[in-house]
Amino acid sequence: MSLLKVRNVTVRFGGNVALDNVALDAAPGEVTGLIGPNGAGKTTLFNVITGLLAPQRGEVRLDGADLTRLAPFRRARAGMARTFQRLELFGLLTVRENVELAAALRRTGGSGGAAGKAGALLELVGLSDVADVRSDELSTGRARLVELARALATDPRVLLLDEPASGQDETETEAFGLLLGRIAAEGVAVVLVEHDMQLVMQTCQRIHVLDFGRILAVGTPQEIQTDRAVLEAYLGTTEGAA
Amino acid sequence: MDTFIEATILGLATASILAIAASGLVLTYTTTGIFNFAHGALGMLGAFTYWQLRVDWGWPAPLALAAVLLVLAPLVGTLIEVVIMRGLTDAPETVRVVVSISLLVALLGLGLWIWSPQQAHPITPFWGFESIDIGGWFGWLPGASDDMSVVVTYHEITAFAVAILLAGGLRLLLFRSRPGLAMRAAVDDRPLSMLNGARPGRSAALAWGIGCTCAALGGILMSPVTTLSHVNLTLLIVNAYAAAMIGRLRSLPMTFAGAVLLGLIDSWAITYLPDDSLLLNRIRFVAPVIVLFVVLLVLRQPRPRGHAVQRTREMIPRPSWNGSLITAGAFVAAGVYMSVILTEPDALDIARIVALAIIGLSLVPLVGFAGQLSLCQMSFAGIGAVVMAHHGQGGSLLGVLYAAIFAGVVGAIVALPAIRLGGLYLALATAAFAVFMDQWVFLLEPFDFGPWTIKLFPQGTVPIDRFKVPFLDVTDTGGGLLIVLSVIFALLYLVVVAIRRSTFGQRLLAMKDSPAASATIGMNLTATKMVVFSLSAAMAGVGGALYGSTLGSASPDRFAFFTSLPLLLLGVVGGIGSAAGAILAGVLLGATPILVNSFPWYENIARVLPGTMGIALGRNPNGIIQELRVGFAPLAKTPVFLMGTLGATGAVLGLRLAETIDGALFALLLVAAVLGPGLVLRLRDARALGQADQVVPADPTGALTSAPAGNGLDEGATVPLEWVGIDRPFTREDVARLDRELGLEGAR
């Protein structure tokens, strides 16, 4: 049962095909991995899903409803949230304000709801100590956590994470993997783009492999690790080895 | 029939000139990403330089043309690119637009300075008024008579020929030459073209050189047809970008098509519309604006951008209520103080400055918080003044309220087509609206609109009653008016503070920082921009009503496009993130007529000052006042010096109040009292820093390894250790902290 359904998405930049007939499914309660070499089209696909980029063809559905023509902010209100590979924090605001603003836009809870929610989320991702620091003063690793907290503040049903662990050290990454599991366990469909294969293989239930704008393989971590086409894409042709 | 053909040919000639100017604009914009608002001003300077050489100095035409088009124009264009624009490629759009507008204002000022507008600058068309009759060519048309006469001047033929040659030349350059290939590559992907060995800097310089030549060519061809006028030629930019907009600022062939459309509308309107009606015969000024707005409506929304690269860290501090109330109190106190020491007329002059500062304050939420530009703030102020004149009779405060509502509604209507596009497009639309108001609406005679009679500036000026505060007879005198305006300024300042502190203010800052991220957390960018634009227009309307009230009678030129521009520029220079910029804008704009009265030579300085300040300082997002504040921050932490400053300032103010000192001495002492202690403190810090410098090399380098390596910041520190002294000057605390963390404390 998939909550997020992407079908036949094609994006061309001039003569360059960035996404070619791509399909992707993400189920609630699961972490879905999206991996592939640099330039494979992962971020482009996220941009299409969140509405920052209009595809030439294809559709994006959330829980059966067609979102393809909706503006990004309407998709967000429908339950779509994301983080960015190139950080997009509100640098003029403090860490707390970043999260509070997202919570306030969602308008859940009574008075003071946004502030309380922001506090709880900062606690969850472990940023309470820097809550009142301007967000552009944080290290990359911690800034990514602010983006995560901000995305969570919108009460997402689908959470798209674009390389959330880059800039984090080993212990931070490990804690982050556990956190992802907890988020998914609450019924969120998490889609994870990540280059840290250990994190991907440990956290994801299903993995999509994207290469040159095409979906190369879909399967469980075990299946992906032994898939011939995937190995070729990552390690070059296996003709000699075979 | 012959009238129609002649009008069409005239229209095509105008179109040719427009196309020449517009193609230069498109070329520079696509190659460098900087929209040259000064394009029309450059054309104006080109035309005047040509007049100087050809008419005043009597050079032969070919020599004068060669000097302007082959030497001066390319040189100036290249120079502008290298000196001013090169550093702006990665800057936020607001900064690029502000610097480009600064250039417009500076060049216009320069033109007015060199070639006085009081003097006539007659110029004849090329080949005098020689013409040929081509009536015979059209004998085959239905309804044509055999002896039909269709006159085409040689000047018109020249314009056609130049436009066609230019179109062909640009095509060859872009598609058949190496530099052209490099230019097109830079448009597609600048970093990639650099990796492949192109030098975008060179392409940009070439584009600006050619662009500037196109502007000069357009100006030289245009001036004999209309008149050699500073303002009209500078405003040619609006027609040029309306044409370019049809090509989405990118396509040269579509730009030519746009020019033809505008040229024909212009010429047919002149020929066929009755010229006794002001409503209709000024259609030529209105057509480009209408075309522009229609194109804006059909343009597709660009995808929300992410961050822009900024070299200076922007500071828009969240002000505390306590601090803001003290500041607001200081505004009122300053108003009361000045009303006591100043004579009646002088107090009225200062009241005007305060009113202008209120209009400037309207830019703070829009430009400072939301990062959107408005080039028509004085037009909204003008609407406010007109509403006050007609609905605030007897000084009713209701007039001010109506002014706010009316200006706010007009603001929403203006913003409607452009706001979803934002950025540059909003700037272009607001500029077009300002010109539309200047050249048409404000000049209209009273007319009937349905059941209402709309009155604007019926006799060219309109009397505006001085507003009255209920139950208090204070505004009859200049001093009283000044006090009331200071109170209103202080209140509006607190409104701006409240906006900054609210969730709405956070939204605006977030939108300015990263539109993409704002959209993906569920923010409706269009609605947010719409609200803040309308709010800003309403505030400008209030400011305009009050400004009109201080003037007593207002004429449209007070609210012209060319007043909106310096207001914006000076606001940005002063720091548009707080009230500082608004005050600087109000003071410099309001003081100009006063200073020119005493010192006539200041007039030309005043013309170029806002522009040059904008070029030099427009790229600093914090403004000079904030820089000063940061520079003098140590003062607040050193009670002795703080008390010294306050005490000295108070003493000087008191002496003036007791009429012991006066005039220049007072001004001098006041500056010394305000700045002196801070300067002494800085000198002391600098000496301490010098001593610290001498100590550092003497220490064994091994001490560096003992530096604490924590992730978080140490107590009392606002920036990581590596950043100390980078975003602001060194202070004593910084030196002490460096010593502490490097283990150098004992070395003193």
pLDDT digits (tens, 9 = 90+) for B83-140: 888 877 777 788 888 899 999 999 999 999 899 888 888 887 777 777 787 777 777 7
Q: In chain B, what are the domains?
A: 2-134+145-298 (1.10.3470), 321-430+472-584 (no CATH), 639-747 (no CATH)
d(CA B675, CA B672): 5
* pLDDT at position B195 over 90: no
Q: In chain A, what are the domains?
A: 1-79+156-242 (3.40.50.300), 89-154 (no CATH)
Q: Do A156 and A81 form a contact (C-beta atoms < 8 A)?
A: yes
Please write down the HEC assignment for all residues of B349-363: HHHHHHHHHHHHHCH
d(CA B292, CA A74): 29
- CA-CA-CA-CA torsion sign (B248, B252, B253, B256): positive
- Residues in chain B with CB shorter than 8 Å from the CB of A82 are 520
Distance of CA B127 to the CA centre of its chain: 39
d(CA B568, CA B370): 14
Give mean pLDDT, residues A161-175: 88
d(CA B315, CA B623): 10
Q: What is the crossing angle of helices B398-418 and B377-391, to 10°? A: 150
- Residues in chain B with CB shorter than 8 Å from the CB of A54 are 303
Question: Is the CB of A89 inside 8 Å of chain B's CB atoms?
Answer: yes
pLDDT digits (tens, 9 = 90+) for B588-623: 888 888 888 877 778 888 888 888 888 877 667 677
- Nearest by CB: A154 against B188, B521, B713: B521
B109: enclosing H helix or E strand: helix B93-114
pLDDT for position B715: 47
Question: Is the CB of B522 inside 8 Å of chain A's CB atoms?
Answer: yes
Give mean pLDDT, residues B524-537: 94
A181 — pLDDT class (breaks 50, 70, 90): very high
Q: Do A230 and A217 form a contact (C-beta atoms < 8 A)?
A: yes
ipTM entry: 0.91
A201 — pLDDT class (breaks 50, 70, 90): very high
Q: Do A90 and B316 touch (CB under 8 A)?
A: no
- Residues in chain B with CB shorter than 8 Å from the CB of A93 are 506, 509-510, 513
d(CA B162, CA B129): 18
* pLDDT at position B747 over 60: no
Count CB-CB contacts under 10 A for residue B413.
Answer: 12
Q: Do A105 and B307 touch (CB under 8 A)?
A: no
* pLDDT at position B697 over 50: no
Give mean pLDDT, residues B162-176: 87
Residue from B504, B520, B529 to probe the interface with A (highest A Cβ count within 10 Å)? B520
* pLDDT at position B489 over 70: yes
Of B536 and B343, the one with more pLDDT: B536
Q: Do A84 and B306 touch (CB under 8 A)?
A: yes
- Residues in chain B with CB shorter than 8 Å from the CB of A114 are 503
* pLDDT at position B181 over 70: yes
- Residues in chain B with CB shorter than 8 Å from the CB of A88 are 306-307, 514, 516-517
Closest approach of B718 to chain A, Cα-based (Å): 9
Q: What percent of chain A has pLDDT over 90?
A: 64
Quick one: which of B531, B533, B545 has its CA closest to B488? B545
d(CA B244, CA B23): 7
- Residues in chain A with CB shorter than 8 Å from the CB of B94 are none
For A118, phi then psi, to 5°, come to -60, -45
Nearest chain B residue to A50 by CA: give it: B520
Give mean pLDDT, residues B38-57: 92
Beta bridge partners of B462: B554
Residue B527, C-beta contacts closer than 8 angstroms, at least 6 positions apart? none
Residue that is written with structure tokens 């095909």 in the block? A17
Give mean pLDDT, residues B398-421: 90
Q: Do A11 and A19 form a contact (C-beta atoms < 8 A)?
A: yes
d(CA B592, CA B596): 6
For B106, phi then psi, to 5°, come to -65, -45
Lowest mean pLDDT, pick from A173-187, B61-75, B723-737: B723-737
Question: Is the CB of B302 inside 8 Å of chain A's CB atoms?
Answer: no
A11: enclosing H helix or E strand: strand A4-13
Q: Do A101 and B503 touch (CB under 8 A)?
A: yes
A241 — pLDDT class (breaks 50, 70, 90): very low
For B354, phi then psi, to 5°, come to -65, -40
Give mean pLDDT, residues B565-571: 90
Residue from B521, B523, B528 to probe the interface with A (highest A Cβ count within 10 Å)? B521
d(CA B514, CA B527): 16
Q: Do B524 and A50 touch (CB under 8 A)?
A: no
Nearest chain A residue to B306 by CA: give it: A88
**In a 3-state reduction of DSSP, which class is residue B398?**
helix
* pLDDT at position B433 over 60: yes
Beta bridge partners of B324: none
* pLDDT at position B304 over 80: no
Q: Do A91 and B513 form a contact (C-beta atoms < 8 A)?
A: yes
Return the DSSP state at B722.
Answer: G
pLDDT digits (tens, 9 = 90+) for B639-681: 777 788 888 888 888 888 777 777 777 878 888 887 777 778 7
pLDDT for position B627: 72
Task: Count Cα neighbours of B64 within 13 Å in the Cβ-side half-sphere.
Answer: 20
Residue B97, C-beta contacts closer than 8 angstroms, at least 6 positions apart? B35, B37, B373, B423, B424, B427
DSSP E strands, B421-551: 447-449, 452-454, 462-463
Q: Do B521 and A105 touch (CB under 8 A)?
A: yes
Q: Do B519 and A71 touch (CB under 8 A)?
A: yes
